Structure 1
Amino acid sequence: MLFSRLGVLQSLIGQNLILVEKLLSKLTVCLC
């Protein structure tokens, strides 16, 4: 149970990190 929950959390965090990186890249392009 704990391992499956950790796996789900890691997958969600990974997706969020990808979205954050995309937003940051857009912001940096706008600032530059």
Structure 2
Amino acid sequence: MHAATAIENKITTIVSYDKDFNSIDELRRIEP
């Protein structure tokens, strides 16, 4: 999922191994 798509759709938490999502303040990343 693209970060911009998640933010546009008001998604605040994603499940991913990709640590690059940690740098996006609007998203919280959880490892599977």
The TM-score normalised by the length of structure 1 is 0.28
Higher gyration radius (CA): 1
| Larger strand proportion of the pair | 2
Of structures 1 and 2, the one scoring higher in RCO (CA 8 A, sep 6+) is 2
